[in-house]
Amino acid sequence: MYDGTSRPPLFTPARKRHALRSTAAAVALHAALLTAGCGSSQDTAEDVEATASSAAGFPVTVDNCGVRTTYEKPPSRVVTIHQHPAELMLALGLRDRMVGTAFPDSGVLPELEKAYRAIPRLAEREPSFETILEAGPDLVYGGYGSAFAENEGRSRKAFADAGIDTHLNREYCGKKRVTMKDTYDEIRTIGGIFGVPDRADDLVADLTVRVDEAATKVEDEPETRVFVYDSGDKAAFTAGGKSLGTELIRLAGGKNVFADLDDVFGDVSWEQVVERKPEVIAIYDYAGAGSVEQKKQFLLSQPALKDVPAVRNERFVVLPLTATLVGIRSAYAIEELARGIHPESFA
């Protein structure tokens, strides 16, 4: 099993073997990742510019959420805040560059767990500015905008003033809706920053194949109405039209019933849920918001929801929250969703 110290088994020549998924390498990848299973971004990729004259591909300049950074060499001491940036780095074989992680919000992918646990955990949530400084990073990579909360002393400017570079997952650049292209662009951007563009290309190729295979299985199925239940009792906290979750549902043969909500996440009334008659409910699973079983029981116990098709038929699909974010898990969430929405296509 891959231990995160070198290029992981994800990096097979996927483009050359699209038609050969039954090979041993493809089967290993499929088996490993099947075990795995809130902001928007720019439509275009953040430009990664490398000087052609440099044999090593550096310096590299990245425009990230309005912050322009030039890397003279690959970062060697990285702190990741939130789980999905850490998993992305590990999937690119970059464990040796990681000196700290923070804020795990669901179980780590099994094939990455050993490597993840070997990295010092700085905090259960976002660590303080001082705690991060003690780890001696040259780069801090944040998953949610809260990684660089100014009111908690962790602004990107504060890190820059301390001589530390920062990178924020493009999902939180705050411009437009998030798509799978953002996932692929984020992987390639990180691959460029760390001088491993070939690994990034191979990973993107494998994820693209995975998405295409799942989407093809359900492309002729009728569109199914899906409601995302993140949390909430007086109101329902759900995924809006700008979220990556909306695209994942679409690719899985469904339609987010709150795709018209002009935000990444937001509150809607239970009356609205009833009116939109979802046929499937996707439950987001993460620490601190109640267990999946508690969420199911809450939905099933509400008299107002008893005639909602998804509740009446108990059609629930469970996804780790990290599988719905820009990161390596999103490609695999599509198959899990597709299986839950259109199980007949996978019989």
* Domain locations along the chain: 14-209, 214-346
Instruction: Please give the order of strands across the beta sheet that includes 165-168.
Output: 121-123, 98-102, 78-81, 139-142, 165-168
Take residue 164 and report the two structure tokens written for it.
């530390």
Return contacts of 15-21, CB within 8 angstroms, 24+ apart: 15/205, 18/209, 21/209, 21/213
CATH of the structural domain 14-209, one choice from 3.30.1780.10, 3.30.505.50, 3.40.50.150, 3.40.50.1980: 3.40.50.1980
Greatest C-alpha distance within the chain: 68
Q: What are phi and psi of 155, to 5 degrees?
A: -65, 155
The predicted structure's pLDDT at residue 14: 38
Q: How far apart are CA 115 and CA 94, in angstroms?
A: 10
Beta bridge partners of 239: 265
Cα distance between residue 8 and residue 145, in whole Å: 29
Q: Identify the burial level of 275 via C-beta atoms within 10 angstroms of its C-beta, where 0-12 means exposed, 13-18 middle and 19 or more buried.
A: exposed
Rounded CA-CA distance 49/144 in Å is: 25
- Walking along the chain (347 residues) 10 residues at a time, the average pLDDT comes out as 40 36 33 35 44 64 96 97 96 97 87 94 96 98 95 97 97 84 96 97 96 95 97 96 95 97 94 98 90 96 97 96 92 93 92
Q: Is there a common fold for 14-209 and 214-346?
A: yes
Q: What is the dihedral of CA 45, 332, 240, 301, to 10 degrees?
A: -170
CATH code at 214-346: 3.40.50.1980
Per-residue pLDDT, 105: 81
The answer, yes or no, to whether the previous bond of 120 is cis (omega within 30 of 0) is no
Compute the distance between CA of residue 108 and CA of residue 78 in angstroms, rounded to an integer. 18
Provide the 3-class DSSP secondary structure of residue 291: coil
On the 0-12 / 13-18 / 19+ scale of CB atoms within 10 A, 58 is middle
Nearest-angstrom CA–CA distance, 238 and 29? 32
Residue 6 is predicted with a pLDDT of 41
- Closest to 83 (Cα-Cα) out of 31, 121, 39: 121
